Amino acid sequence: MSHNTFPHADHDPRAVRLAARDGTLVGPTAGLAKGFVQVNLVILPEAQANGFLRFCQSNPKPCPLLAVSEPGERGCAALADDLDIARDVPAYCLYRDGRLDQTVHDVSDVWRDDLVTFALGCSFTFEHALIQDGLPVRHIDEGRNVPMYRTSVPLVPAGGFAGHLVVSMRPYRASDAIRAIQITTRFPQTHGAPVHLGDPALIGITDLHSPDYGDAVSMGDDELPVFWACGVTPQQVLMDAGIAFAITHSPGHMLITDIPDSRVALL
């Protein structure tokens, strides 16, 4: 069954996870189990995990930690009941020696007793809140992936990891940008308020029309580019560190938790 016809928008989170687990769902999770938090996953051997935990705590905007598993555990009560981390994501990326090696739908065959799972908040949560408030989200309206850019903004080095911030961009008229700042401020665990707006050159972006990840979107003359810290940052950091073995979700193919969106809102 194609993911495009997979009718889980109104399903509960567990139904979506079970569909990923049994191979029915292999596509992106945008719009599925609406109202529940979807998370970025980073899965690392314990030897690197302790350093990565310190790195996340030093860089909370790109790496907002929602939960960390015990080594080897494929469940995580803080995220969901009846969870199998190794099978409940529709697609995973396997990294070996600092490079993306494979994209697979199940990582139970490569699972190890020392693997630690990091669940990081994802912009889907605040995009849902923006749309609920009547604000447009350009890349969704244009049926594209969000444009993402490497920047010159240094991350705080910690635990053996370092690098530069990756940001996502959504264009807004000024009054909508102000409202978007207010709304996303309520969601510090899903990247929170923007990190920059206006002149892209000030954060080392030379051409908005050529994103480093995702797709370019159109922008009006009366719009400002608004930049949020992006969950692709840790993936880039892991590759830059030449990590021997890591697993992440495949971009857009998130783990759906049992956490209602409102539980990660400040108010």
Contact flag: residue 175 with its own copies (CB under 8 A): yes
Site string for its own copies, 210-239 (x = CB under 8 A): ------------x-x---------------
Asked whether position 202 contacts its own copies by CB under 8 A, the answer is yes
Closer of 8 and 150 to its own copies (Cβ): 150
Q: Does 177 bind its own copies (CB under 8 A)?
A: yes
DSSP string for residues in the chain: --GGG---TTS-HHHHHHHHHTTS--S--TTTTTTEEEEEEEEEEHHHHHHHHHHHHH-TTTS-EEEEPPTT-S-BTTTBSS--TTTSSS-EEEEETTEEEEEES--TTS--TTEEEEEEE-THHHHHHHHHTT---HHHHTT-PPPEEEEEEEPPPBTTB--EEEEEEEEEEHHHHHHHHHHHHT-GGGT-S-SEES-GGGGT---TTS-SBS------TTEEEEEEE-THHHHHHHHHTT-SEEEEEPTT-PEEEEEEGGGGS--
Residue 194 has which token pair? 């923007």
Smallest separation, CB 252 to its own copies (Å): 27
Residue 1 or residue 174: which is nearer to its own copies going by CB? Answer: 174
Binding piece for its own copies, criterion CB under 8 A, among 24-32, 50-58, 171-179, 205-213:
171-179
The correct pick among 21, 196, 249, 253 for binding its own copies (CB under 8 A) is 196
Closer residue to its own copies in complex, CB, 52/172: 172
Task: Give yes or no for residue 87 binding its own copies (CB under 8 A).
Answer: no
Q: Is 147 in the site for its own copies (CB under 8 A)?
A: no
Considering the rule CB under 8 A, would residue 178 count as an interface residue with its own copies?
A: yes
Minimum CB–partner distance for residue 211 and its own copies (Å)? 19
198 is a site residue for its own copies (CB under 8 A): yes
Judged by beta carbon, residue 156 or residue 174, the one nearer its own copies is 174
* Minimum distance of its own copies from residue 98's CB (angstroms): 31
Shorter beta-carbon distance to its own copies: residue 157 or 198: 198
* Cα dihedral 166, 73, 81, 131 in deg (nearest 10): 0
**Cα–Cα dist 114/55, whole Å:** 19
Q: Which of 10, 199, 207, 215 binds its own copies (CB under 8 A)?
A: 199
Our measurement of the distance from residue 111's CA atom to the centroid of its chain's CA atoms, rounded to an integer in Å, reads 22
> Contact residues for its own copies (CB under 8 A)?
174-175, 177-178, 181-182, 185, 193-199, 202, 222, 224, 267
